[in-house]
Each structure stands twice: as C-alpha cells, then as structure tokens.
C-alpha cells in the first residue's frame, strides 16, 4: 500500500479518483501541530528561537490514524498546498509521524493531468520555505505575546496586538481621524440644458466651480442673457485594455465590490472550488498563465466570439517576490463555463472565468466626444458635455459587468446655434475621504507591503472579531476600543507598527524562503531591540481613565464628578470616587446598573467591598478592588437569576456545578455554575443525555436534528453531514 497525505478531506476525495487506486489518500485536516496556547515556554529563545510544538487539540486521533497507515505503507507522499503554509504542514506531518525522507509533491491545480505529472517529480521538503513559515509563526507569537501582556497591564485585560493586524488597524484609525478633522468647503455646480438645431437636448456642465453662491448666480443670470453656440467639437479614439487574471488580492477586491463577499468568504469559496478541481491554487501573487492555459483560452475565445477577439498575452507580475512557477487564479478548464456547488461558488467561479478569459482578448475600442458650448457674454465660462460610445466591445463581451454605459451626443459642428432651455446652480460641499471598504483595505495593504496574499483575509477577520473594527454597510470603522489600542501602540511602539518595519519584515521572511537569509539571525535582530522597547514602557502609567466627563454629567449615586473609562463594550462615565462609589452612566448619559454593592466585605483582601458585576458569562459577585484583588464569590445567587436559569443538569467536566442559562454578547448560552473554576460552556440547552460517542453533553438542536452533541469535533454534532455525503 502507498499513502498520500493532503490537508483537506475534500481535496483527498478529488485526488483519490485520479490515482487509479494506486494510493490510499488521507487528510491531516489542516495543521496537526502548533505552538501551545498562552505558554511563556512555547519558544526556546536562548536555544535559538526553537519552537516547542504540541499536537493540536482534537488532532490526536488524526495523527494516530496516519501513523498506523504509514507503518503499513511502502511509500509515503506528502501533497499539501504549494506554498509556505503547505510546506510547513508537510514538515509537521513528517515530524509527528517520525518519517525519515518522505516524498513531497506540489501541483497548482487538482486535475488528473496536474496530479499525475506531479507524481513524476517528487522532491524533499523545502527547508527554506518551512523555515520562513516557522519564522512568521514565531515572530507573530513573540510580538503578540509580549505586547499584549503590556497592554493588559497598561490599558485593559483581554486586549491584544498583532504584528500585521495592528498596522492594518492603524490605517483605519488614521483614516477615521482624517474624516473627523475634515473641514468641508462649499462650491457650486452649474448645469445648463441646451437644445441643438435638430431639437436634441444636451446637458452641459460649467467648466469652473464657483466658490460662492453670489458667483454662481452671476454666471446663471449672465448665461440667461446670452446667445449660445457650439464652440468646439473634439472626437478621439481610445482603448480599454483587459486587466490581468486574478491574484489573491485582486480576486478579493473584485469579489467584494461586485459580489459583496468579504475576503474571508471569498477565500473559503475559492478553497472549495480549488479542492473540487475547478480553479488553480487561490493563494498567489503571480499573474502568469501557463502555455497550456493560454492555448486553451485562445481556443475558447475563437470558438465563442471569433478570431478578431483573440489576443493571447502575458501580464507582468508587480510583486517582486512572486514565484513565476505559480499561476494566476484561473479556471482549470476554460471550456467549462459554470462550476461550483451552490450559487455563491458559481458566482465566484463565473467571476474568475470572466477575468481569465477576458485577459486574453482584444482591447475594447471607444469613441470619446467632447462638445464645448460658448455664450455671447464673455464673462460666462465655457460649458462642456462628454460622450462615449463603444465601437468594438473586445474583451467586454466576455465580462459585460465591466462595461460602462454609453453616452451618445448628437452630431454637431463648430458654430451651430444652441438654445438655452434651462440653467441652474447646485450648492455642494467637498466630502471627507471615504472609510476603507474591505476591498480598499486589501488594496492598501498590498500597496504598502503589509502582509502577503494568504494573510489579507485573516487580518481583516481578526480585527473585526476582536471588536477593534465594525462593518457599517461595506465600510470598516474602528471602534472606540480599536482607536484606543491603536493610539497606545502608535505613541509607544510607532516604529513597530509602521509601514516600513512591517514591509521590511515581510521582505526578510521572503528572503528566508529563498534561502538568502538566516532564521536565527533574523529573529535575533528583531527580538533584542523589541524586548528592550517593551521593557522600557513598563514604567508608564496605567490608563485608568480617558479624561474628565463634561461638567454637567454628574454621578447618579453621589452627584459627584465623573470620568471617562473604557469597558469591554466601549467608553462609559464612571464616578471619579470609584471604588468608594460605583455610580456609572452610558456616554449618552443614561444611568448604568453597573456594579451593585452587596454590603459584604471581601474575605480575601479585607479592604474591598463585594459588588455584583457583568462578565463574559453573566453577572457575578467579586471584589471591588479588582484587578489588585481577584476574589470571586462562588455559588452567589444574583436577583434569583442563577436559580431561575439553572437547568439542574450536572456539568460533565467538573461534576460539581450545574449547567445554567447565561447571556453573553452573542446571546443565550449555557455554562457551568462552578465558573470560574470550571469554564464549560455549550451553545444550546442541554438535554441531560450524554453523547455515547465522546462523553460530552447532548444539547437541543433544530427541527431536522432535534438533539446533537455539544462537542463540535464529534460526528454527533452534525449527524446530517455524513448523510449528505
């Protein structure tokens, strides 16, 4: 038996049918090893930045099954994705399974021809690519762990920073500040409706924009007194050239603007199309097309549209580190016009097909016309009308959504009379710069060298998931917490979240991948100065408040002054005497229930008072001196809430508490009453039954699945999936 290992079960299913039963194909289901979470000892810094990897939680059975198969196999081939991430996964499989010299193959599309060709050219694992991925992982852990720890001390517990997420957040905050600082300037637009001698009406616009209403009115009044005629007619030919086939970045941008897909949704759909063999590998910064693809697309163009539409060409790749062995994102078979499971995948496939095919087609030819109208009164400026017509549609026939609307102007010549039918001015004001959309942010990150194609989607998802950014329609707006974190980092670690540092670090990682730079040297050069910078900030004052509240905002309990503080949900007003007084208001001035005094003293510090608070898992009783004193009262009954929400079902982890209904930011959930000693939580109400497969609690499901396991990794969590397959 021969064994071939890939990352994805869907990919395994597609590949297996191409190997004629010669191989058993299995999936690692992504990474099988990683750095331990929240561990200071995850990296041996003194030993040379050596990561201490552990088997990822839930992957023990996967590793055991692969080991068992490998022992029986005469040959083991690793066929993970053709990038650094894929190389790292292949290396982790090798290490976890104690394989000596496994064969490594790569292909950029999952077709029979590509897979069988790759099998003819096995190689060893590329240690340079693997080292580059490891350097990125270690670098991100060191950066995030050390900086986040400082933020917990100086700003608020639970906040964090990231090497590439923080520069992206900085861009959004800088744009938000530009918007707030923007001072609009008024101007007027004057439009005139003029009729030709052939009774054709044309809208003309004034060639200047008056700054005052009086100026605009003067022009309008003088124009009404004037005799009008055609001053000039200018016609010129222009072309619209097709764009290059998609890279990861341009695919995310186009899918966002045309289809409304977020970058993370786009990549998820593209991954499925790739694994099903419909498109080439979707993580690439190359615009290159193989000779085979060029020939196939040319054949499709000639057959569908005719010889005059065909224009085979290669596009220069802008990224200096793009690997030309990689290809742009394209259909694996251009002759297949529709592919994908479900409407979302089908729409994305159509977008990819249109862009790839259009890139190999002739330019669209346009006729642009400009007509100038002049008045007899010399103080009246020229008015112009612009028209455009497509003479030859070229590549637009394959990508009609890129076509702009034709504006046809009547045929006139210089000196022809015009009759003024109407003229009016409209007051307007200059607008502030727009917030970045997801597509706009991806474009900006790429332009500045922040991140790489495989990271854009995760960067945006991370800053949204952390509540540093919110989406308003399609625009990204930093939250108050996001602004506070960004301002803190910009003030104290500006050089580490700058474009220059981030882009140079990406270049250094690229150099490691190319074998031009040493792993240990790179990390030493970063970590030495970085740790000193973090240590130098440990003496700065903690941000306990964000300034004084307006004087008319008084404490609802003691009528004293208030200060602005930051909570998990944003800014609020707190009594300046806190913790002696726990009065609080929202920023809108409404009284907050806030912490309630219980009348008890803290049994731990003997100094603080026990108060009720709102937490991630509901209300609880704790010391008012937090974070100096972290005492939490167990089994506290708060306004009968815990009793009312108690299901009476024993917790399956600690066997001491009971599962209790609680409310969090995502709605109702069920958690152990023994929190914080036991942090067992499930999404739906427990049924009281234990899953026979994994021993977790069963919970209520849906109409089609009345009950299911609360363990998301258990087959009983979604018993319908196997049936659908």
What pLDDT sits at residue 641? 46
pLDDT-derived band at 719 (thresholds 50, 70, 90) equals low
- Per-residue confidence (pLDDT) for residue 643, from 0 to 100: 44
pLDDT at 635 over 70: no
Whether 597 and 611 have beta carbons less than 8 Å apart is answered as yes
Statement to judge: residues 76 and 103 lie in one domain? yes
Is 488 within the bounds of a domain?
A: yes
Does residue 336 share a domain with residue 268? Answer: yes
Residues 442 and 397 placed together within one structural domain of the fold: no
Residue 227 main-chain phi, psi, to 5 deg: -100, 135
Classified as helix, coil or strand, 40 is coil
C-alpha closest to that of 51 among 477, 519, 633: 519
Contact 191, 426 (CB under 8 A): yes
**pLDDT confidence tier of residue 316, bands split at 50, 70 and 90:** confident
Helices (H), 226-322: 248-254, 263-275, 291-305
pLDDT in tens, 216-262: 999 999 999 999 999 999 999 999 999 999 999 999 999 999 999 99
Confidence of residue 542 (pLDDT cuts 50, 70, 90): confident
609 assigned to some structural domain: no
Q: Are 363 and 393 in contact (CB under 8 A)?
A: no
Grade residue 642 by pLDDT with cuts at 50, 70 and 90: very low
Q: Domain check: are 16 and 99 in the same one?
A: yes
Total structural domains within the chain:
5
Q: Which two tokens stand for residue 570?
A: 């944003």
Q: Which of 510, 509, 503, 533 is nearest to 522 (CA)?
A: 509
pTM over 0.85, yes/no: no
Helix ranges restricted to H, 306-426: 343-358
Q: Same structural domain for residues 64 and 198?
A: no
Q: Are 57 and 38 in contact (CB under 8 A)?
A: no
Cα separation of 581 and 557, whole Å?
7
34 and 119 housed in the same domain = yes
- From 513, 536, 559, the end of a domain falls on 536
> Is the domain of 194 the same as that of 167?
no
Q: Is residue 547 in a domain?
A: no
Spatial distance between the Cα atoms of 461 and 447, rounded to a whole number of angstroms: 19
Residue 563 domain-assigned (yes or no): no
For residue 319, is pLDDT > 70?
Answer: no
The pLDDT value recorded for residue 417 is: 96
pLDDT tens digits for 174-227?
999 999 999 999 999 999 999 999 999 999 999 999 999 999 999 999 999 999
Rounded distance, CA 462 to CA 445, Å? 15
- Residues 87-103 have a mean pLDDT of 94
Q: How far is CA 583 from the centre of its chain?
A: 39
Q: Look at residue 722 and tell me whether its pLDDT is greater than 70.
A: no
Let me know if residue 54 belongs to a domain.
Answer: yes
Separation between Cα atoms, residue 174 and residue 256, nearest integer Å: 22
CATH number of the domain enclosing 386: 2.70.20.10
Rounded percentage of the chain residues whose pLDDT exceeds 70:
93
CATH number, domain at 451?
1.10.460.10
Assess whether pLDDT exceeds 80 at residue 634: no
User: Is 611 contained in some domain?
Assistant: no
pLDDT grade, residue 638 (50/70/90)?
Answer: low
- Among residues 103, 107, 71, 74, the alpha carbon closest in space to that of 90 is found at 103
Same domain, 104 and 156: no
Q: Is the pLDDT of residue 493 over 70?
A: yes
> Would you say residue 637 lies in a domain?
no
DSSP state, residue 245: P
Residue 724 scores a pLDDT above 60: no
Q: What is the CATH number of the domain that holds 258?
A: 1.10.290.10
Prior bond to 579 cis, omega within 30?
A: yes
| Residues 352, 368 share a domain | no
CATH code for the domain in which residue 120 is found: 3.40.50.140
Q: Which SS3 state, helix, strand or coil, does residue 610 take? A: strand
Separation between Cα atoms, residue 660 and residue 366, nearest integer Å = 68
In what helix (H) or strand (E) does residue 492 lie, and over which residues does it extend? helix 480-493
Is the domain of 197 the same as that of 170? no
Q: Residue 181 has what pLDDT?
A: 96
The CA R_g of the chain, rounded to the nearest whole Å, is: 32
pLDDT tens per residue across span 649-685: 888 888 888 888 876 655 678 888 777 778 888 888 8
In a domain, 556, yes or no: no
The predicted-structure confidence for 600-617, as pLDDT tens digits, reads as follows: 899 998 888 888 876 655
Q: Which of 324, 358, 392 is the last residue of a domain?
A: 358
**End position of a domain, from candidates 411, 429, 447:** 429
User: Mean per-residue pLDDT for 48-76?
Assistant: 93
Please tell me whether residues 27 and 57 are part of one structural domain.
yes
304 and 158 assigned to the same domain: no
* Domain range for 320: 248-358
Q: Give the residues across from 34 on adjacent strands.
A: 54
Distance CA(402)–CA(310), nearest Å, equals: 18
- The highest-confidence range among 40-44, 272-276, 583-587, 658-662, by mean pLDDT, is 272-276
Task: Tell me: pLDDT of 693 over 70.
Answer: yes
Region 303-328 average pLDDT: 80
Report the DSSP pairing between strands 23-27 and 2-6: parallel
Catalytic residue set: 281
């Amino acid at each position: 038996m021969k064994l071939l290992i890939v990352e994805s079960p869907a990919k395994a299913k597609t590949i297996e049918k191409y190997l004629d039963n010669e191989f058993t194909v299995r999936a690692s289901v992504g990474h099988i090893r990683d750095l331990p979470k929240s561990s200071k000892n995850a990296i041996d810094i003194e030993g040379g930045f050596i990561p201490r990897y552990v088997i990822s939680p839930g992957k023990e059975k996967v590793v055991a099954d692969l080991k068992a198969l490998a022992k029986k196999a005469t040959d083991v081939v690793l066929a993970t994705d053709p990038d650094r991430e894929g190389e790292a996964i292949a290396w982790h499989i090798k290490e976890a399974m104690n394989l000596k010299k496994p064969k490594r193959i790569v292909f950029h599309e999952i077709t029979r021809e590509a897979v069988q060709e790759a099998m003819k050219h096995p190689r060893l694992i590329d240690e340079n690519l693997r080292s580059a991925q490891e350097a990125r992982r270690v670098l991100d852990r060191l950066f995030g762990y050390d900086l986040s720890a400082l933020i917990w001390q100086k700003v608020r517990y639970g906040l964090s920073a990231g090497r590439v997420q923080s520069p992206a957040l900085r861009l959004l905050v800088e744009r938000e500040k530009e918007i707030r600082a923007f001072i609009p300037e008024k101007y007027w637009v004057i439009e005139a409706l003029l009729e030709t001698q052939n009774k054709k009406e044309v809208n003309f616009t004034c060639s200047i924009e008056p700054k005052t209403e009086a100026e605009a009115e003067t022009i309008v009044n003088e124009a009404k007194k004037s005799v009008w005629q055609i001053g000039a007619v200018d016609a010129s030919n222009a072309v619209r050239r097709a764009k290059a086939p998609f890279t990861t970045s341009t695919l995310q941008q186009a899918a966002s603007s045309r289809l409304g897909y977020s970058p993370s949704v786009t990549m998820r759909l593209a991954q499925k199309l790739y694994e099903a063999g419909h498109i080439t590998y979707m993580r690439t910064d190359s615009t290159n097309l193989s000779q085979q693809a060029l020939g196939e697309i040319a054949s499709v163009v000639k057959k569908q549209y005719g010889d005059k539409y065909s224009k085979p060409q290669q596009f220069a790749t802008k990224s200096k580190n793009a690997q030309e062995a990689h290809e742009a994102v394209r259909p694996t078979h251009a002759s297949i016009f529709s592919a994908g499971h479900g409407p979302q995948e089908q729409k994305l496939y159509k977008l990819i097909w249109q862009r790839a095919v259009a890139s190999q087609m002739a330019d669209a030819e346009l006729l642009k016309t400009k007509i100038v109208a002049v008045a007899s009164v010399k103080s009246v400026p020229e008015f112009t009308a612009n028209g455009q017509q497509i003479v030859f549609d070229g590549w637009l026939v394959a990508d009609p959504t890129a076509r702009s609307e034709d504006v046809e102007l009547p045929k006139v010549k210089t000196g022809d009379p015009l009759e003024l039918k109407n003229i009016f001015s409209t007051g307007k004001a200059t607008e502030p710069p727009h917030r970045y959309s997801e597509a706009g942010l991806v474009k900006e990150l790429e332009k500045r060298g922040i991140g790489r194609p495989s990271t854009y989607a995760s960067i945006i998802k991370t800053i949204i998931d952390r509540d540093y950014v919110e989406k308003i329609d399609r625009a990204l707006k930093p939250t108050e917490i996001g602004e506070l974190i960004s301002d803190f980092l910009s003030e104290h670690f500006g050089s580490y979240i700058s474009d220059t540092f981030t882009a140079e670090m990406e270049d250094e990682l690229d150099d490691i991948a190319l074998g031009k730079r040493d792993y240990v040297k790179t990390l030493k050069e970063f970590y030495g100065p970085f740790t000193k910078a973090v240590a130098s900030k440990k003496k700065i004052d903690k941000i306990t408040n964000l300034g004084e509240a307006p004087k008319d905002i008084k404490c609802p309990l003691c009528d004293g002054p208030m200060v602005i503080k930051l909570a998990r949900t944003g800014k609020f007003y707190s009594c300046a005497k806190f913790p002696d007084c726990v009065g609080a208001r929202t920023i809108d001035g409404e009284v907050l229930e806030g912490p309630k005094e219980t009348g008890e003293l803290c049994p731990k510090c003997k100094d603080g008072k026990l108060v009720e608070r709102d937490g991630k898992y509901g209300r609880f009783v704790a010391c008012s001196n937090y974070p100096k004193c972290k005492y939490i009262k167990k089994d506290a009954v708060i306004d009968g809430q815990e009793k009312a929400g108690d299901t009476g079902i024993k917790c399956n982890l600690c066997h001491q508490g009971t599962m209790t209904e609680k409310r969090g930011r995502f709605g109702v959930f069920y958690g152990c009453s023994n929190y914080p000693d036991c942090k067992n939580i499930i999404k739906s109400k427990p049924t009281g039954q234990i899953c026979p497969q994994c021993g977790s609690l069963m919970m209520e499901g849906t109409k089609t699945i009345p009950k299911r396991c609360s363990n998301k990794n258990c087959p009983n969590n979604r018993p319908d999936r196997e049936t659908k397959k």
